[in-house]
Amino acid sequence: MALKQRARRDEDKQQRRDAILKAARALLERAPRLDTTVAEVAERAGVAKGTIFLYYPTREALELAVLEQELDGWFDALDRELAEPSGAWSAQRVASVIVGSVVLRKLMARLLVRLETVLEHGAPAEQVALFRHRLLDRTTRTGALVEKRLARLGRGDGARAIVYARALLVGLWGMADAAPSAAKAMSEPAMAAIRVDFERDFERSLGALLHAMQSERA
């Protein structure tokens, strides 16, 4: 009986955790500046505000958990794209697939911009360590698929390519996702030289980087 009761309690906890993450994700998606409050998440999830902190002791811990879900979805989608069809691809084609898998995942991009500068500073150390180990695993697995597509890459180069892609994503998204006042100023024709088109510049930069990695190996 004790084991059954424990199982039910564990199941209840997981259901509550899932409800909290679902609510947080829905609210964060609607908030371009990620200014959703914990109280709003609690209300949407149907739990007390204090309950949120039992599962996620800080706001950053909650956002990091949402980011992990977003990254899992991204890696899953990217793995499917890279798995078919078989054979060698050009660097530009791989770049196009990676960029295409990112452009509709705005919440993931916004949270990735905050990962090293905000989220990992406010989340518990144990959660951050677990997140990093899972990120390593997903990056390594997806990197192996990149290596199959770009035949001239060496072992481990695919994982580095994913790391570089993430760095480009964070930098270019941060520049393109400007405040309204900056966006208005950047719309002027004279600003064209310093204006960032996220999708175009991400694909162009990543394609050039992957081509350079292949050339180094050759």
Domain CATH code at residue 42: 1.10.10
Specify whether 113 is located in the same domain as 167.
Answer: yes
Longest dimension (CA), the chain: 73
Q: Is the bond preceding 85 in cis, omega lying within 30 degrees of 0?
A: yes
Domain limits at 45? 1-55
For residue 32, the model assigns a pLDDT of: 83
Show Cβ contacts of residue 73 under 8 Å, excluding neighbours closer than 6 positions.
105, 108
- What is the tens place of the pLDDT at every residue in 135-168? 999 999 999 999 999 989 999 999 999 999 999 9
90 touches 106 (CB < 8 A): no
pTM for this prediction: 0.92
Domain CATH code at residue 199: 1.10.357.10
Specify whether 29 is located in the same domain as 108.
Answer: no
Other Cβ atoms less than 10 A from the Cβ of 84: the count is: 6
Compute CA 91 distance to the chain's CA centroid, rounded to the nearest angstrom.
22
Q: What is the CA radius of gyration of the chain?
A: 20
For residue 1, the model assigns a pLDDT of: 52
Helix, strand, or coil (residue 187) = coil
Specify whether 161 is located in the same domain as 63.
Answer: yes
Q: How many domains, in total, are found in the chain?
A: 2
